[in-house]
Amino acid sequence: MASYSRITGTGSYLPPRRVTNDDLARELAQRGIETSDQWIIERTGIRARHFAAPEVTSSDLAFEAARHALEAAGRQASEVDLIIVATSTPDMVFPSSAAILQNKLGVAGCPAFDVQAVCSGFVYALTVADAMIRTGTANCALVVGAEVFSRILDFNDRTTCVLFGDGAGAVVLEASETPGILASDLHADGKHVGILCVPGHVSGGQVTGTPFLHMDGQAVFKLAVRVLEEAARATLAKAGKTDADIDWLIPHQANIRIMEGTAKKLKLDREKLIVTVHEHGNTSAASIPLALDDAVRSGKVKKGDTVMLEGVGGGFTWGAVLLDM
């Protein structure tokens, strides 16, 4: 039995429809809502986002990202013995998007399930996969973050609808005799449920409550910067590392201010911060693997680099993973 797990391939996918801030401003103007490219960039750093076509589901996006990750790892889908999908926008109430993805990959038999931790979902899912590989339950895991957040946005609320987009990112995590995932740190605090939530649910064949995303932006910002630093430092301590050992910080791509604030608290140069939020907005559970894949394929993140992944999301959930590529 291998003692460790290591990422052997990364992949990502963004739906073809790219919506710039100007595009969105024109659409919102038709609803009598005023916003602008400058207003959005100054507050978030976002310049564009991608929206999936109406018939496209999270598992469709997950399939494309998974295909790219498997190709990068040199693996066939038949070699995967664990599938975990982190998503807050599943295809159905049930079965899981992971089970649907498994079928789209043309395989069967291995465990497949979803993880729901909103924007922290990928960090949660990666930690679960690492634990299952370390205990010998799996040898080759496919871990995916996939979202179609455009389905739950209230386009009458400019404070939230400009922030989010659709996309998917994936990694192949395999058993290894050398350390890959070095340490992780996960948390949740349900008393903050009201500051970031979609409170609707299905009852009696109808949606009860609102099916749209609600967020108290200021409350989320204050909490996020604090807990992200704490999780990062706890993870470093578990791994016996310090701030200076981090080659790259890949936070959840939510808001450039939160991301830069976290890097500053960790005493990291801005150049060590991987930023992709400007191109796809907040894609929730998909944003960390999207950013990781972009950094790997652009040549920034190289084999042997030490990378800190961290996310914070509704629940309230947060966590971090430190890994060697």
Candidate list 21, 68, 110, 119, residue with the active-site label: 119
Condensed to tens digits (0 to 9), the pLDDT of residues 247-272 reads 999 999 999 999 999 999 999 999 99
282 is catalytic: yes
118, 154: one domain: yes
Candidate list 50, 192, 252, 280, residue with the active-site label: 252
Looking at residue 3, what is its pLDDT?
85
Residue count of the chain? 325
| Residue 11 CB coordination number (10 Å) | 28
121, 189: one domain: no
Q: What is the mean pLDDT of residues 317-325?
A: 98
Residue range(s) defining the domain that contains residue 146: 4-176
Residue 148: closest CA among 316, 15, 48, 256: 15
Q: What is the mean pLDDT of residues 17-45?
A: 96
128, 189: one domain: no
Looking at residue 168, what is its pLDDT?
99
119 is catalytic: yes
**CA distances for 260 relative to 30, 152, 267, 319, angstroms:** 34, 27, 10, 17
153, 25: one domain: yes
Condensed to tens digits (0 to 9), the pLDDT of residues 282-316 reads 999 999 999 999 999 999 999 999 999 999 999 99
Looking at residue 96, what is its pLDDT?
98
Q: Is the pLDDT score of 106 beyond 90?
A: yes
Condensed to tens digits (0 to 9), the pLDDT of residues 168-210 reads 999 999 999 999 999 999 999 999 999 999 999 999 999 999 9
260, 172: one domain: no
48, 193: one domain: no
217, 90: one domain: no
Task: Report the distance separating Cα 121 and Cα 224, nearest Å.
Answer: 15
Asked if 282 and 163 touch (Cβ cutoff 8 Å), the reply is yes
Asked if 46 and 21 touch (Cβ cutoff 8 Å), the reply is yes
161 is catalytic: no
162, 207: one domain: no
> Given 176, 193, 219, which residue is the final one in a domain?
176
Looking at residue 2, what is its pLDDT?
63
Name residue, tokens 């907040």: 282
12, 90: one domain: yes
CATH number at residue 105: 3.40.47.10
167, 193: one domain: no
> Given 176, 204, 221, which residue is the final one in a domain?
176
Condensed to tens digits (0 to 9), the pLDDT of residues 161-176 reads 999 999 999 999 999 9
> Given 156, 176, 196, which residue is the final one in a domain?
176
Looking at residue 89, what is its pLDDT?
98
- Number of domains present in the structure of the chain: 2
Task: Report the distance separating Cα 299 and Cα 252, nearest Å.
Answer: 20
| Overall pTM surpassing 0.85 (yes/no) | yes
293, 149: one domain: no
Q: Phi first, then psi: what are they for 44, rounded to 5°?
A: -130, -25
Asked if 277 and 256 touch (Cβ cutoff 8 Å), the reply is yes
Q: Dig out the tokens for 127 from the structure.
A: 């930690």
Q: Is the pLDDT score of 1 beyond 80?
A: no
114, 249: one domain: no
Contacts of 156 (CB under 8 A, 6+ apart): 31, 33
Does the N-terminal peptide bond of residue 164 adopt cis geometry, omega within 30 degrees of 0? Answer: no
